[in-house]
Amino acid sequence: IRKIGVMTSGGDSPGMNAAIRSVVRTCAFHKLECIGIYRGYQGLIEGDFKPMDARSVNNIIHKGGTILKSARSKEFRTKEGRDIAFAKAKQQGLDALVVIGGDGSFTGAMIFSEENDFPVMGIPGTIDNDIYGTSSTLGYDTALNTVVDAIDKIRDTASSHNRLFFVEVMGRDVGNIALNAGVGAGAEEILIPEENLGRDRLLESLKRSRASGKSSSIVVVAEGVETGENVFALKDYVEQNLPEYEVRVSVLGHMQRGGSPTCWDRVLASRMGVKAVESLMDGNYNNMVGIQDTKIVLCPLEKAVKGKTAIDKELIRVSDIMTT
């Protein structure tokens, strides 16, 4: 391996810049060439490349977003698109690709590597923390802190007005952000797709909470395009059944994807970037870098793509006890 391409792909997440920096500087340290690929696979198809050296990544460790930009490429989902991408990679003299992204990006990387016998390495970058083979993805910790900060603020106004707030958080179809930020922010109830409690249980819990003397409440709801509750329908349902509640909805949305990464995400990104490049140098192709029990490890890309993550049942129980 002499020349490595690095890209960010799919939904961006805080810590992606720190990971780019780490990949670029590890290449420089080992005297490998590093090529930045703009806009993920779309940039690979279009040959949107820029050689990067240690100085190209100055002053980015603390920045949210990604200096390489990101995209979800439709063209790369087709064989024709991937063939063009491979031709561009060869033209550029790339020997391997580091893809910083989520499961969709890794699926693309896996197919690309199988079709062309091309070495790839994944670094998990997504706020959702929904990737098998790592206990934490880049950006997850930052997103949790962003959500907790937002809920703390919502709590102020909720309590001033004795209101119930439904706060919708991101996470595609997984409840990790909702569950962890919900516990961290002291939510009354946390609705996640993995544990559908049903609306009646929510009503019961809200009744109990009022009866126990609480005047305002925060309910965290995980978004879930396929699986989750529609937060506005929930609001209507509660207002119809519990008229004593004045309800408001706050959808946090894309602000959860921005902001300066936490120290945890920066350190994780730095460690993962080193492992990604050095594993490629050692011939450990087609893996994803992950963290397990504080150790940086490799997980075969196929497992990372196909494996299912599980929600933390113990934390669900903790949350139940905390709402007593």
Binding residues for Mg(2+): 103
Distance CA(142)–CA(148), nearest Å, equals 10
Distance CA(92)–CA(21), nearest Å, equals 21
Which residues, numbered 183-242, are part of the site for ligand F6P (CB under 6 A)?
223
Query: Which position among 52, 127, 154, 291 is part of the footprint of ligand F6P (CB under 6 A)?
Result: 127
Q: How many helices and strands in the chain, by DSSP H and E?
A: 11, 11
CB of 186 to ligand F6P, least distance (A): 22
Catalytic residue among 12, 128, 130, 265: 128
Nearer to ligand F6P, 113 or 126 (CB): 126
Instruction: Tell me which residue of 16, 31, 30, 107 sits closest to 63, measured CA to CA.
Output: 16
SS3 295: strand
Considering only the stretches 16-24, 112-120, 121-129, 159-167, report the one whose residues sit in contact with ligand F6P under the rule CB under 6 A: 121-129
Considering only the stretches 58-66, 150-158, 168-176, 230-238, report the one whose residues sit in contact with ligand F6P under the rule CB under 6 A: 168-176
Is 171 an interacting residue with respect to ligand F6P (CB under 6 A)? yes
Roughly what angle, to the nearest 10 degrees, separates helices 176-184 and 140-160?
50
CB of 183 to ligand F6P, least distance (A): 19
Is 170 an interacting residue with respect to ligand F6P (CB under 6 A)? yes
Is 126 an interacting residue with respect to ligand F6P (CB under 6 A)? yes
Nearer to ligand F6P, 85 or 170 (CB): 170
Distance CA(150)–CA(77), nearest Å, equals 36
Is 179 an interacting residue with respect to ligand F6P (CB under 6 A)? no
Residues 6+ apart with CB under 8 A from 229: 191, 221
Is 141 an interacting residue with respect to ligand F6P (CB under 6 A)? no
**Residue 117 is among the residues annotated as catalytic for this protein:** no
Which residues, numbered 6-45, are part of the site for ligand F6P (CB under 6 A)?
11
Provide the edge-to-edge strand list for the sheet that holds 49-52.
49-52, 33-37, 3-8, 96-101, 120-124, 287-292, 295-300
Distances 112 to 7, 43, 70, 91 between C-alpha atoms, Å = 14, 15, 18, 16
Distances 125 to 94, 163, 218, 277, 309 between C-alpha atoms, Å = 22, 36, 29, 16, 15
Nearer to ligand F6P, 128 or 194 (CB): 128
Are 301 and 109 contacting, i.e. CB atoms less than 8 angstroms apart? yes
Nearer to ligand F6P, 128 or 188 (CB): 128
Binding site, annotated residues for substrate: 126-128, 163, 170-172, 223, 248, 254-257
For tokens 């098998």, name the residue. 132
Is 250 an interacting residue with respect to ligand F6P (CB under 6 A)? no
Nearer to ligand F6P, 11 or 122 (CB): 11
Known catalytic residues? 128
Binding site for ligand F6P (CB under 6 A): 11, 102, 126-128, 170-172, 223, 257
